[in-house]
Amino acid sequence: MTVESTAARKPRRSAAGKTGTTGGKAAGTTGTKRTAAKKTTNAEPELVQLLTPEGKRIKNAGTAAYDPYVADITPDELRGLYRDMVLTRRFDAEATSLQRQGELGLWASLLGQEAAQIGSGRATREDDYVFPTYREHGVAWCRGVDPTNLLGMFRGVNNGGWDPTTNNFHLYTIVIGSQTLHATGYAMGIAKDGADSAVIAYFGDGASSQGDVAEAFTFSAVYNAPVVFFCQNNQWAISEPTEKQTRVPLYQRAQGFGFPGVRVDGNDVLACLAVTKWALERARRGEGPTLVEAYTYRMGAHTTSDDPTRYRHDDERVAWEAKDPIARLRGYLESETDTNEGFFAELEAESEALGRRVREVVRAMPDPDHFAIFENAYADGHALVDEERAQFAAYQASFADVDEEEGKER
Amino acid sequence: MTTQTAAQTAGQSAVKSLALAKAINESLRKALETDPKVLVMGEDVGKLGGVFRVTDGLQKDFGEDRVIDTPLAESGIVGTAIGLALRGYRPVVEIQFDGFVFPAYDQIVTQLAKMHARALGKVKLPVVVRIPYGGGIGAVEHHSESPEALFAHVAGLKVVSPSNASDAYWMMQQAIQSDDPVIFFEPKRRYWDKAEVNPEAIPGPLHKARVVREGTDLTLAAYGPMVKLCQEVADAAAEEGKALEVLDLRSVSPLDFDSIQTSVEKTGRLVVVHEAPVFFGSGAEIAARITERCFYHLEAPVLRVGGYHAPYPPARLEEEYLPGLDRVLDAVDRSLAY
């Protein structure tokens, strides 16, 4: 045999990690105990929360496992998280407007989920790999994907629009839950390579019902794959509330598959950052998958084609507005750090500039060349595609004289 | 590969007689040896060596990390293979039987087939999906189907099916080397048919048809398990003085229409044979395109022989359902009667 068998080769894992194994285990154990206690009371389980809705820092037994992951966070880094959330929300609002103006065919807003996305996105390392749904605009931002690249598929000029390998940010996946398996396979590959990178797979409460998600849990557990399943439970799968998907809190699903699950306040960017870092470190250390359920709320419609007034009440939204992720961090910045008005004013200006740039880029986005239909259908080519492209070219060319008269370019 | 190495050292010919299943086994072994990124994965492919023993001995020699027994979940197998391919691996996955592929159909059609295009060519998905297919072995329900047309209809996939051990060996090599996803349909009723395989030969292109037998009166076109039948048909017809040309199409997508056209321009008559149902089958596509290409050469309409538009029947009825010698000869007669 020319190739050495890799069976005996165990993935090399860095021993890095601020709290070590104990932290992880402690957190898992706490979660389980809480769950057991709550079963009898039938109340919602507690969240891991580091910032109250009023922006006060919490430290207690429930946060102890995660505190070390944000213990040395600087005011500048906190302002960075705030800036990420504000700019993401601004970009998102701009995209919604562009859809209303007819520049985009559709938009899936992330409004309300900024903390879940920025917290988890900023927890990733450059060499980690991200598998998003179609709403991870905030995560894309953290990964350095130019926001205007996200708009191509919503404008209808492409079906993807970015090179997934540039930022280790996979293409948006529209068929629900499929990407959790891709993430698991990618993570299996990382383990085979002996690297200490990790993978994070995003999905939602609706996706938790998909068979692919269950299979991803099974495969990742069986192969101990370094993957974090980050479920943004935004309470609604279009019109269906979470209770139409599950009888147990979603994070508890992990237990049956044999890995830890934890519910985090999805509107608390600090908690999302800490918990995701904890989960990613577990993966890096070779401890396998983790399910993080970020408990949040979809403040807007499912997409611009949706009408939430048909299935939910405004008072629900009002209640969640009081837990707004951006206001919460601002409260903390204003009371606990030296952040001054100048920062907020500058950010406001930057935000407007981003909106303007997005608007200009989208409006200038050219329609694709007609022959793009055939491009990249195959990597190695295909005789039928060649034949049909030639037929298409001949058909297009048959308009040449008409176009010449009308002065059109085809 | 000790046998081969020994043969080479001794300066002997590398040609050996192999059953089709064994040829695939040797091809997988060669791929695992030459490319550390190649993985074999599927249900029972490890210790058991697969239910047809196609992967026999591979896990023992290459380890559990490269020959992977997977959980019993087809969508999971293909979905994780996609992720592994994105990481730079070249997974060869086994679907245990034709009728079990449908849990993975979504991952294959929605993800595997389209991802290269969606990424504007920036990622490649070199995944081979092996599917033992077809009937004739007296199996229970869901173990005898021929779903190739369901995959050929999907842009982004390539679909091939060898008819003999030599092609099985080489087409598997080429499928693994392909940067496109390839659905590799293995004619399970021919798994035990032996043929000479020369691992040192230079193979022809993966998607090119081959004239198996030359003739002037009528062209029989088939792939996979039906090629052998068509050769038998040609033998029987020869006894009646009819010279049939037999084409082994080898690839269903892309389909080598040029080779069919060349043959039909010579014979003027075409009968397409496959186990899959005739309705919307690959024969329908061949008939339409060959009619367009060879309209003035055709002496008769293109005829098709295949399965019926009914669920695959219980084993004791499959002989009636599957194309057999007489049904194909009947089509030959009908074509020649025009």
Active site residue B143: yes
Nearest to B123 among A7, A164, A189 (CB): A164
Supply the pLDDT for residue A301. 95
Q: Is the pLDDT assigned to residue B337 strictly greater than 50?
A: yes
Given the residues B116, B142, B143, B309, select the one marked as catalytic: B143
Q: Is the peptide bond before B254 cis (omega within 30 degrees of 0)?
A: yes
Residue A127 neighbours by CB under 8 Å, 6+ apart: A168, A195, A197
Q: Which residues in chain B touch residue A3, judged by CB atoms under 8 angstroms apart?
A: 32-34, 36, 62
Residues in chain A: 410
User: pLDDT tens, A284-307?
Assistant: 999 999 999 999 999 999 999 999
The partner residues of B228 in beta bridges, in order of sequence, read none
Question: Min CA distance, B282 vs chain A (Å)?
Answer: 14
Q: Is the pLDDT assigned to residue A10 strictly greater than 50?
A: no
Q: How far apart are CA B270 and CA B260, in angstroms?
A: 9
Q: How far apart are CA A248 and CA A254, in angstroms?
A: 11
Supply the pLDDT for residue B226. 98
The CATH 3.40.50.920 portion of chain B extends over 210-336
Q: Is the pLDDT assigned to residue B1 strictly greater than 60?
A: no
Say if CB A191 and CB A224 are below 8 A apart.
yes
Q: Which two tokens stand for residue A10?
A: 């165990």
Predicted confidence band of residue A31 (pLDDT cuts 50, 70, 90): very low
CA distances from A55 to A58, A70, A121, A348 (A): 9, 15, 21, 20
User: pLDDT tens, B48-100?
Assistant: 999 999 999 999 999 999 999 999 999 999 999 999 999 999 999 999 999 99
| Three-state secondary structure readout of chain A | CCCCCCCCCCCCCCCCCCCHHHHHHHHHHHHHHHHHHHHHHCCCCCCECCECCCCCECCCCCCCCCHHHHCCCCHHHHHHHHHHHHHHHHHHHHHHHHHHCCCCCCCCCCCCCHHHHHHHHHHCCCCCEEECCCCCHHHHHHCCCCHHHHCHHHHCCCCCCCCHHHHCECCCCCCCCHHHHHHHHHHHHHHHHCCCCCEEEEEECCHHHCHHHHHHHHHHHHCCCCEEEEEEECCEECCEEHHHCCCCCHHHHHHHHCCCEEEEECCCHHHHHHHHHHHHHHHHCCCCCEEEEEECCCCCCCCCCCCHHHCCCHHHHHHHHCCCHHHHHHHHHHHHCCCCHHHHHHHHHHHHHHHHHHHHHHHHCCCCCHHHHCCCCCCCCCHHHHHHHHHHHHHHHCCHHHHHHHCCCC
Q: How far apart are CA A123 and CA A272, in angstroms?
A: 8
The answer, for A369 touching chain B at a CB cutoff of 8 Å, is: no
Q: How far apart are CA B92 and CA B67, in angstroms?
A: 9
Indicate yes or no: CB of B80 within 8 angstroms of CB of A384.
Answer: no
CA B311 to chain centre: 21
Q: What is the mean pLDDT of residues B315-338?
A: 98
User: pLDDT tens, A93-107?
Assistant: 999 999 999 999 999
Q: Is the pLDDT assigned to residue A19 strictly greater than 50?
A: no
Question: Min CA distance, A383 vs chain B (Å)?
Answer: 6
Q: How far apart are CA B174 and CA B179, in angstroms?
A: 10
Amino acid B215 reads: G
Given the residues A122, A137, A170, A302, select the one marked as catalytic: A302
Question: Min CA distance, A4 vs chain B (Å)?
Answer: 7
User: pLDDT tens, A395-405?
Assistant: 999 998 877 77
Question: Min CA distance, B73 vs chain A (Å)?
Answer: 7
B159 to chain A: closest CA residue: A382
Q: Which helix (H) or strand (E) holds B271?
A: strand B270-277
Amino acid A37 reads: A
Residues 219-238 (A) with a CB less than 8 A from some CB of B: 219, 222
The answer, for A178 touching chain B at a CB cutoff of 8 Å, is: yes
For tokens 């048919």, the residue is B193
Q: Is the pLDDT assigned to residue A15 strictly greater than 60?
A: no
Supply the pLDDT for residue A4. 37
Indicate yes or no: CB of B155 within 8 angstroms of CB of A193.
Answer: no
Q: Positive or negative, the Cα torsion across B139, B145, B146, B148?
A: negative
Q: At what angle do helices B282-293 and B257-267 cross, to 10 degrees?
A: 60
Q: Which CATH class is domain B2-197?
A: alpha beta
Question: Min CA distance, B260 vs chain A (Å)?
Answer: 14
Q: What is the mean pLDDT of residues A147-168?
A: 95
Q: Which residues in chain B touch residue A216, judged by CB atoms under 8 angstroms apart?
A: 76, 79-80
Supply the pLDDT for residue A404. 75
The answer, for A293 touching chain B at a CB cutoff of 8 Å, is: no
Task: Characterize the bridge pairing of strands B210-213 and B194-197.
Answer: unpaired
Q: Is the pLDDT assigned to residue A34 strictly greater than 50?
A: no
Q: Which two tokens stand for residue B149?
A: 């047309």
Indicate yes or no: CB of A7 within 8 angstroms of CB of B82.
Answer: no
Given the residues A100, A125, A311, A313, select the one marked as catalytic: A311
Q: Which CATH class is domain B210-336?
A: alpha beta
Mean pLDDT, chain A, rounded, equals 90
Q: How far apart are CA A206 and CA A176, in angstroms?
A: 8
Indicate yes or no: CB of A193 within 8 angstroms of CB of B63.
Answer: no
Say if CB A271 and CB A51 are below 8 A apart.
yes
Supply the pLDDT for residue A405. 75
User: pLDDT tens, B2-46?
Assistant: 444 444 444 567 899 999 999 999 999 999 999 999 999 999 999
Mutate to test the interface with B, among A200, A376, A388 (most CBs of B within 10 A): A376
Predicted confidence band of residue A356 (pLDDT cuts 50, 70, 90): very high
The answer, for A125 touching chain B at a CB cutoff of 8 Å, is: no
Say if CB B275 and CB B306 are below 8 A apart.
yes
Q: Which residues in chain A touch residue B124, judged by CB atoms under 8 angstroms apart?
A: 379
The CATH 3.40.50.970 portion of chain B extends over 2-197
Mean pLDDT, chain B, rounded, equals 96
Q: How far apart are CA A50 and CA A52, in angstroms?
A: 7
Q: Tell me the percentage of chain B whose pLDDT exceeds 70.
A: 96
Supply the pLDDT for residue A44. 62
Other C-beta atoms closer than 10 Å to the C-beta of A402 total 10
For tokens 């000479």, the residue is B196
Say if CB B330 and CB B337 are below 8 A apart.
no
Q: Is the pLDDT assigned to residue B167 strictly greater than 50?
A: yes
Predicted confidence band of residue A410 (pLDDT cuts 50, 70, 90): low
Q: What is the mean pLDDT of residues B120-138?
A: 97
Supply the pLDDT for residue A33. 40
Q: Which two tokens stand for residue A240?
A: 């269906």
Q: What is the mean pLDDT of residues A205-224?
A: 98
Task: Characterize the bridge pairing of strands A199-204 and B244-248.
Answer: unpaired
Q: What is the mean pLDDT of residues B137-148?
A: 96
